[in-house]
């Protein structure tokens, strides 16, 4: 795994929760999920118990959003499968991952890039 993506994964999984956002026939949906690192380019999202088991979101484009103190994380990708053993576990293939840090000086604040990862292989295959 590349260094930038590993650093982002380590930070995201240490926080453990994130907001999973996707669109369906009902519009924009947001779910709070637990996040665990799975594979080189995969993150697994664990759905909470109160979400209906019938929720089907494989092959959907999703965004995983996290904020922790002054750190902001944004990961985009596709849900590639719901784990057979537990349909509450979703595997996310990461296409892009960003880590920004909020900086402030007097009355001015801005986001400073810490790490940016883009999976060019996946993007080229999709074109």
User: What CATH number did the domain enclosing 111 receive?
Assistant: 2.30.110.10
Q: What is the pLDDT of residues 52-77, one digit of tens each?
A: 666 667 678 899 999 999 999 999 99
**Nearby residues of 105 by Cβ (< 8 Å), 6 or more positions away:** none
Q: What is the pLDDT of residues 21-39, one digit of tens each?
A: 988 888 888 889 999 877 7
Q: What is the pTM of this model?
A: 0.80
Residue 2: Cβ within 10 Å count: 12
Overall domain count for the chain: 1
Q: What is the pLDDT of residues 76-123, one digit of tens each?
A: 999 887 665 566 788 888 999 999 999 999 999 999 999 999 987 644
Residue 57 belongs to domain spanning: 3-126
């Amino acid at each position: 795994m590349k260094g930038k993506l590993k650093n982002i994964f380590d930070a995201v999984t240490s926080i453990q929760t994130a907001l999973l956002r996707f669109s369906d026939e009902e519009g924009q949906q947001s779910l709070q999920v637990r996040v665990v690192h799975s594979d080189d380019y995969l993150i697994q999202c664990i759905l909470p118990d109160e979400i209906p088991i019938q929720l089907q979101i494989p092959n959907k484009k999703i965004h995983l959003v996290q904020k922790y103190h002054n750190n902001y994380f944004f990961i985009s990708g596709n849900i590639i499968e719901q784990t057979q053993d537990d349909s509450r576990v979703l595997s996310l293939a990461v296409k892009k991952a960003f880590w920004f840090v909020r900086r402030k000086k007097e009355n001015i604040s801005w986001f400073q890039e810490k790490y940016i990862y883009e999976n060019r292989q996946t993007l080229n295959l999709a074109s």
